[in-house]
């Protein structure tokens, strides 16, 4: 897994002293959201948010997500005032939500990041007409080879492309940021998959609201 490809995270161990951590909220997030979270954090001055990421490729094995998140919550919960899980359902079939409820931690609403980036309501409203779309986010455009092309075996077996993507019609690049290079790369990804191309600017969608709602924990006076 390309943990190394992720933007530098803040290891919890480096933050000095329990007193300071107790003021903070820890985000336990999918590695595919690291850059976006750090960007939001910086832009909004959310110094009370710390970040720990789990490998983004867990999304290929959704049956492992719940357990991995639960283990991370257990590992860090004593150190933080609050923990928030930056995952949507992500194919856990409601299991992650039940686990988070059981552990008393919040999580992002929605089925997956393609939905919350677009805004869960907008995505749901559009779903009926757009079920033959394959979505890429900024992360997936950057990591297309590592997270789509190779796991689907297309580097070794290009003949599988039409078995895998044959029912798809277009690639929708949900752009979180304005970036011409990513736009060009996403267009190229669409061509490689044999799909029509559409770019749609989404920004951070519901992710922004979910993180903005995490008010800094207060000291007991």
Task: Give the pairing type, strands 82-86 and 25-30.
Answer: parallel
Give the span between the Cα atoms of 34 and 30, in whole angstroms.
7
Q: Which one of 24, 112, 141, 173 is in contact with ligand B12 (CB under 6 A)?
A: 112
Candidate ranges 11-19, 68-76, 128-136, 199-207; the one touching ligand B12 (CB under 6 A): 128-136
> Out of other proteins, ligand B12, none, which partner does residue 114 contact, by CB within 5 to 8 A per kind?
ligand B12
Q: Which one of 131, 155, 188, 200 is in contact with ligand B12 (CB under 6 A)?
A: 131
Q: What are the angstrom distances between the C-alpha of 163 and each of 150, 166, 194?
A: 15, 6, 12
Q: Interface with ligand B12 includes 111 (CB under 6 A)? A: yes
The 3 state secondary structure assigned to 130-170 is: CCCEEEECHHHHHCHHHHHHCCCCCCCCHHHHHHHHCCCCE
Which of positions 54-113 make contact with other proteins (CB under 8 A)?
A: 60-63, 89, 91-95, 111-112
Q: How many residues does the chain have?
A: 221
As measured in angstroms, the least distance from the Cβ of 111 to other proteins is 5
Binding site for ligand B12 (CB under 6 A): 59-62, 89-91, 111-112, 114, 131, 134-135, 152, 164-165
């Amino acid at each position: 897994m390309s943990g190394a490809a992720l933007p530098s995270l803040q290891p919890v161990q480096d933050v000095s002293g329990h007193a300071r951590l107790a003021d903070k909220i820890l985000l336990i997030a999918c590695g595919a959201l690291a850059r976006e979270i750090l960007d939001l954090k910086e832009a909004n001055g959310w110094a009370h948010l710390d970040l720990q990421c789990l490998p983004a490729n867990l999304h290929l094995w959704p049956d492992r997500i719940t357990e991995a998140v639960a283990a991370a919550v257990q590992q860090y919960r004593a150190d933080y005032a609050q923990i928030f899980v930056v995952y949507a359902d992500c194919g856990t079939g409601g299991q992650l939500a039940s686990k988070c409820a059981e552990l008393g931690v919040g999580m992002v609403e929605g089925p997956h990041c393609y939905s919350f980036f677009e805004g869960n309501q907008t995505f749901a409203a559009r779903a009926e007409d757009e079920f033959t779309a394959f979505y890429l986010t900024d992360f997936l455009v950057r990591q297309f080879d590592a997270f789509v092309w190779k796991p689907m075996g297309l580097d070794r077996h290009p003949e599988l492309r039409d078995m895998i993507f044959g029912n798809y019609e277009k690639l929708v690049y949900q752009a979180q940021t304005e970036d011409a290079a990513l736009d060009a790369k996403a267009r190229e990804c669409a061509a490689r998959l044999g799909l029509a191309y559409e770019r749609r600017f989404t920004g951070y969608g519901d992710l922004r609201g979910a993180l903005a709602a995490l008010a800094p924990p207060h000291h007991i006076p």
